Structure 1
Amino acid sequence: MEELSGTVLAGRSFEPIRGRVVVEEGRIASIEETETTSTDIVLPAFVNAHTHLGDSVAKEAAVGLSLDDAVAPPNSLKHRRLATADRSDLVSAMHRTLRFMQRTGTASCLDFRESGVAGARALREAAASLALDPFVFGSGDRSVLDVADGYGASGANDNDFADQRAACEERDLPFAIHAGEPDATDIHPALDLDPNLLVHMVHAEREHLERVAEQSVPVAVCPRANTVLDVGTPPVRELLDHTTVALGTDNVMLNPPSMFREMAYTAKRFDVTAREVLRMATTAGAEIAGLDCGVVAPGRRAALVVLDGDSDNLAGSVDPVRAVVRRATELDVKRTLV
Structure 2
Amino acid sequence: MEELTGTVLVGESFEPIRGRVVVEDGRIATVEETETASTDIICPAFVNAHTHLGDSVAKEAAVGLSLEEAVAPPDSLKHRRLNAADRSELVSAMRRTLRFMQRTGTASCLDFREFGTAGARALREAAAPLDIDPFIFGSDDESVLDVADGYGASGANDNDFTEQRAACERRDRPFAIHAGEPDATDIYPALDLEPNLLVHMVHAEGEHLERVADQSVPIAVCPRANTVLDVGTPPIRELLDHTTVALGTDNVMLNPPSMLREMAYTAKRFDVTAREALRMATTAGAEIAGLDCGVIAPGRPGALVVFDGDSDNLAGSVDPVSAVVRRATELDIKQTLI
One fold, TM greater than 0.5?
Answer: yes
Q: Distance in 2 between matches of 1:17 and 1:29?
A: 17
CA distance in structure 1 between the partners assigned to 2:286 and 2:219 by the alignment: 13
Q: Equivalent residue for 1:184?
A: 184
Q: Counterpart amino acid of 1:93?
A: A
User: What is the alpha-carbon distance in structure 2 between the residues aligned to residue 146 and residue 28 of structure 1?
Assistant: 32
SS of the equivalent of 1:284 reads helix
Cα deviation for residue 327 of structure 1 reads 0.1
Equivalent residues in 2 for 1:121-270, closer than 5 Å: 121-270=121-270
Residue by residue, what CA displacement relative to the aligned partner does 1:177-210 show, whole Å, maximum 9, x if unpaired? Answer: 0000000000000000000000000000011000
Distance 1:160 1:33 in 2: 54
The one-letter code of the counterpart of 2:205 is: E
Corresponding residue pairs, total: 338
Q: TM-score, normalised by structure 1?
A: 1.00
In structure 1, the partner of 2:92 is: 92
Amino acid at match of 2:9: L
Q: TM-score, normalised by structure 2?
A: 1.00
Counterpart of 1:58, as a letter, is: A
Distance in 2, matches of 1:81 and 1:26, equals: 39
Measured after TM superposition, the shift of residue 2 of structure 1 is 1.6
The offset of 1:220, in angstroms, is 0.1
> Are 1:54 and 2:54 counterparts?
yes
Report the Cα offset of residue 30 of structure 1: 1.2
Q: CA deviation at 1:248?
A: 0.2
Residue by residue over 1:50-77, the C-alpha shift from the partner in whole angstroms, topping out at 9 and shown as x without a partner, is 0000000000000100000000000000
Shift of 1:86: 1.0
How large is the RMSD of aligned CA atoms in angstroms? 0.4
Question: Which residue is equivalent to 1:38?
Answer: 38
Q: How far, CA to CA, are the matches of 1:336 and 1:74 in structure 2? A: 38
Give the whole-Å Cα distance in 1 for the aligned partners of 2:111 and 2:157.
Answer: 21
SS in 1 for 2:156: coil
Secondary structure, aligned partner of 1:166: helix
Q: Secondary structure at the match of 2:293?
A: coil
1:4 counterpart SS class: strand
**Which residue number corresponds to residue 75 of structure 2?**
75
Q: Counterparts of 2:27 and 2:128 in 1: how far apart (Å)? A: 22
Which residue in the other structure is 2:15 paired with?
15
Taking the aligned partners of 1:2 and 1:66, their CA distance within structure 2 comes to: 48
CA deviation profile, 1:270-328 (whole Å, cap 9, x unmatched): 00000000000000000000001000001101100000000000000000000000000
Identity between Structure 1 and Structure 2 (%): 87
Alpha-carbon distance in structure 1 between the residues aligned to 2:168 and 2:336: 33
Structure 2, unpaired ranges of 5+: none
The correspondence of residues 257-336 of structure 1 with structure 2, limited to 5 A, is 257-336=257-336
Q: How far 1:97 moved relative to its partner?
A: 0.1
**Is the partner of 1:48 in helix, strand or coil?**
strand
For residues 115-126 of structure 1, the aligned pairs below 5 Å read: 115-126=115-126
| Equivalent residue number for residue 64 of structure 2 | 64
CA deviations 1:220-273 (Å, max 9, x no partner) are 000000000000000000000000000000000000000000000000000000
3-state DSSP of counterpart to 1:184: coil
Q: Distance in 1 between matches of 2:257 and 2:315?
A: 25
Moved over 6 A (4+): none
Q: Could you say what secondary structure the match of 2:111 adopts? A: strand
Specify the SS of the correspondent of 1:152.
strand
How far apart in 2 are the matches of 1:24 and 1:59? 38
Partner SS for 2:109: strand
Quote the offset at 1:24 in angstroms: 1.1
Partner of 1:109: 109
Instruction: Output one character per residue of 1:13-72: Cα deviation in whole Å (capped at 9) or x when no partner.
Output: 000000000111111111110000111000100000000000000000001000000000
User: For the residues of structure 2 that align with 1:84 and 1:147, how far apart are their CA atoms?
Assistant: 23
The aligned residue for residue 337 of structure 2 is 337
